[in-house]
Structure 1
Amino acid sequence: MHIGIRRALAGLAIGAGLLAAAAQATNYTLWINGRSNNAQVGNTADFSYWGPATTAAGVNKKAVNWDGYNRISTTNGGIRDALDCYCTGPNWCYVAAHSAGNLQIGYALSLYGTSTRNQKNAVPGSNGQCGNTGGTQTGWNIKWVDVAAGAGGGSELADAGDWALSEPLVSDLKTSSARALYNHNSTAGVTFYMYAGARGTLYSGLLPGQDDEAVAYHSAGGVSGSSGASFCNPSDWFCNDLTLGTAANQGGRTKWSNHSVVFRDDKEAYNHYTNGNWGGVVGLVRTHVVNNAK
């Protein structure tokens, strides 16, 4: 065969191989629930915590269901299994988390985000784990994390015993416990985009500053420190402002590293709850994910 023809055929073969490899790369959107989840653990198609499964919620959406009841340390293995399944090898993930789901993804990235992971085939078995494809990598392929009404800083409702103290998770949701659970500044380089609601009325006496009825701005806004503090909208003259972006808040209190506030509820229009229909602050995250997780 003429050498030019051989080279041309070899080039076509290489090109076909690259196209095949590219075709195997897939993006996924992982949704990590918060407290009190009635969805089936391990069933990535069960979105009953959030709302109708038919609702658009990002490319190749998967529900990373955990029980929303037990402590983060004992349930985080399921989160890591999902990250291994869908966010290794050629595949990449967008992550959306609600409330205590903030603690789950934060815990995973802080403690395991630079660990060696087996690359997986994105086909989970009955145990929620996927098969190995033969390679390894450091950490996971995560483009960014959206956090709706994040409980990464805990809630004073847990401090005051307003939630059932028999729930193991409530111990983690106390403000001092949540902030000490892992190093919130360590995100393996992944940016957390924070969405903070302020339509809080029922528990306003317990939650400092602006709140969404379950978590205050200090938590939903990713404000650093070993304890909570009072942060508000600019229209409130009686406490320091929660600032947008990564900038320090009014009064000098900083946000955790790689945490950026992209939504502050200046009109006090969004509460904490999904109401079975992608409601509250979750609705804002869903819109962002639909428009950007592709």
Structure 2
Amino acid sequence: MKKLIGTVIAAATMLAGTEAAAANYTLWIHGRNGGTTRAGDYNDFSYWGPANTAAGVNKKAVNWDGRARIGSENYRIRDALDCFCTGDNWCYIAAHSAGNLQIGYALSMFGGSERQVKNASPNASGVCGNVSGGRKQPGWNIKWVNVASGAAGGSELADIGEWAVSEPLVSDLVTTTARAMYNHNTTRNVWFYMFAASKGTLYSFVLPGQDDEAVAYHSTGGVSGSAGSSQCNPGDWFCGGTLNLGTAACSDGRAKWGFHTVEMRDDREEYNHSAAGRWGGIIAPVRADVVKYAY
């Protein structure tokens, strides 16, 4: 309900006294990958699945080098936000895995800065031109953020070096590093809707509590703290706590970060981490939600 109300209010605000060219966009920010996407190409949806799949109004793929450090590649995310989320244009954001770190970092570190209003016409590098008159604004126009198996809290697989240690991004995904990278409570009043998957088997002995084979509930549920914790579905007797829905703290008292709410908890253990090239895994319910609300 909060998401629907926020969408209606933002839409009404946009329609009041704005230019006819005003538009809404849906930005999809991918996570760790093998560097196969074309950075700066907003039409390359190869990380997610078929490009002709419905995925929100005016969908754009925000591609970056999914092996590099968050800080070194975050300009790609800021370029996209400047392009499509300034002036009279508004954005919905969908992020997966380390894409959660990217949008969280952008908002916390740069969301209060003065941004040049852009014309939503990107060049080959993904950079848009300035609108006439040199208009500027503070931050970006973002309605909400949907997060599929977010890795903003890091992953224990990075802690033990399970992933290729030659990838700089892995060092950012260490749980203590990811959690100290920026103030996760600083979202510029933008709500993060967390979708947490729990169909994990392969690395369950490493990842605490419920997991999706890559990231545990403490991260995908937006649970605060300087390190990870063991969080599970209701009724699991072998966990430190239950990941409660909404903004409520976990049953062990651990709070969620500010403006973070658990929209979906995978109680039936149906969804894993990967898109599998067909908008699959935990990305499937996120996409369905975006199709419903991003218009």
The TM-score with structure 1 as length reference comes to 0.93
Determine helix, strand or coil for the equivalent of 1:202: coil
Q: Distance in 1 between matches of 2:142 and 2:252?
A: 33
**Per-residue CA distance 1:2-34 (angstroms, 9 max, x = gap):** xxxxxxxxxxxxxxxx99944211000000000
2:242 matched to 1:244? no
- 1:59-118 CA distance string (max 9 Å, x none): 000000001000000000010000000000000000000000000000000001111001
Listed as ranges, the gaps of 5+ residues in structure 1 are 1-17
Residue 128 of structure 2: aligned partner: 130
Q: Which structure has the larger Rg?
A: 1
Partner SS for 1:30: strand
Check if 1:71 corresponds to 2:69: yes
Give unmatched runs, 5+ long, in structure 2: 1-14
Q: SS where residue 104 of structure 2 aligns?
A: helix
Structure 2 letter corresponding to 1:48: S
2:229 counterpart residue number: 229
Partners of 2:29 and 2:96 within 8 A in 1: yes
Measured against aligned partners, the alpha-carbon deviations of 1:173-212 in whole angstroms (never above 9, x if no partner) come to 0000100110000001100000000000000000000000
Query: Number of matched residues?
Result: 277
Which aligned pairs between 1:32-43 and structure 2 lie closer than 5 A?
A: 32-36=29-33, 37-43=35-41
SS at match of 2:93: strand
1:148 aligns with 2:145: no
SS at match of 1:280: coil
The structural deviation recorded for 1:237 is 1.6
- 1:10 matched residue in structure 2: none
Aligned twin of 1:4: none
In the TM superposition, residue 127 of structure 1 has moved relative to its aligned partner by 2.4
Please tell me the residue identity of whatever aligns with 2:112: T
In structure 2, the partner of 1:117 is 115
The CA deviation at 1:125 is 1.2
Equivalent residue of 2:53, what SS?
Answer: coil
Q: Alignment partner for residue 23 of structure 2, among 10, 13, 26?
A: 26
Q: Does 1:195 align with 2:202?
A: no
1:139 aligns with 2:139: yes
Distance in 1 of aligned mates of 2:285 and 2:55: 11
In structure 2, distance between residues paired with 1:71 and 1:177: 12
Q: 2:41 touches 2:124 (CA, 8 Å); kept in 1?
A: no
Q: TM-score under structure 2 normalisation?
A: 0.92
The corresponding residue for 1:278 is 279
**Which residue does the alignment assign to 1:49?**
47
Tell me, what secondary structure is at the counterpart of 1:291?
Answer: helix
Query: Identity of counterpart residues, as a percentage?
Result: 66
The question of 1:204 aligning with 2:201 is answered: no
